[in-house]
Amino acid sequence: MSEKVSFDSQGLKVAGLLYVPEDAQGALPAVVIGHPVTSVKEQSPANYAEVLVGAGFVVLTFDASYQGESEGTPRQLEDPVVRSEDVKNAVSYLTTRSEVDPDRIGAFGICGSGGYVPFAAQSDKRIKAVATASGVNIGDLFRADPDALAEQIEISNAARTAEARGEANEAVDLLPTTKEQAEQYPDRSMFREAYDFYKTPRGQNENAPNTLAPTSYDRIAQFDSWEFIDAIAPRPLLMFAGSDADTLAHSQTAIGKAKDPKELVLIEGASHVDLYDKRVADVTPELIEFFNDNL
């Protein structure tokens, strides 16, 4: 069971779900879970939260500022710095809960939050252990196609001008909206499989339109999730990635830049999106052991 909660993040009311183990006694270790880009707390974070709470952890999932049930306009703004601040403010909220030991808080990020969580932990020492699944450096992801990025920045600049004039901006689709569009991507591609997860009953949620406010693009272009990742040490970093994931290189780069203690665990035969739901059971035993050992 989970409890609807909310906390302040830079003046915005952020909506969360707090999972507390049944028959909990005393202050327990806790884990903050961050959701993928354009996702919400009821999707992949819930799949991990349900396992972690069963293992004795208090778990907090939440919708990013400007997204899901959280406050903020423009809607669907994806601001990497704000996303990282949301993680820190989620930790702050946990320190106020009597069920939580404030000295035993970890954080876990999925997909884009697999970049935001390590970024937050670089300067938030209250996060005692950091883990990711299918982690992505969103800046690198968008910078990989310079021509597309140049066009996106033009869109973002025009949207800022429109906002200043009081004009409305429409959110733009980040993912394929039809099966035909999805099939234009390579087999096992993150974008191809994201359609199957987000646009079908498998993982679809009415609060996750999978769009971006156009003013997100220039913010994303400037961001580097791994810029100071070495600052996490001596706290431990554990990353999970599918051996068949087209985003595997993101985790490999992060591990290469991080200092010990660090580990990259490959889930054999898994794609990027498989770690959202289908292969959660292959991640959680080692994830639970990691948090048990370090919180």
240-258: pLDDT as tens digits: 999 999 999 999 999 999 9
Tokens of 118: 């390590």
Question: Which pLDDT does position 1 carry in this prediction?
Answer: 78
CATH 1.10.1040.10 is right for the domain spanning 2-139+223-294? no
pLDDT at site 266: 99
In angstroms, the CA 272 to CA 247 distance is: 7
Q: What tokens does 136 get?
A: 């992505």
What pLDDT score was predicted for residue 23?
A: 87
Closest among 95, 96, 100, 97 to 126, alpha carbons compared: 95
Over residues 194-237, the pLDDT tens digits come to 999 999 999 999 999 999 999 999 999 999 999 999 999 999 99
Domain positions in the chain are 2-139+223-294
When pLDDT is cut at 50, 70 and 90, the band that residue 154 belongs to is very high
Instruction: Provide long-range contacts, Cβ within 8 A and 24+ apart, for 54-57.
Output: 54/21, 55/284, 55/288, 55/292, 56/21, 56/28, 56/29, 57/21, 57/28, 57/29, 57/30, 57/31, 57/291, 57/295
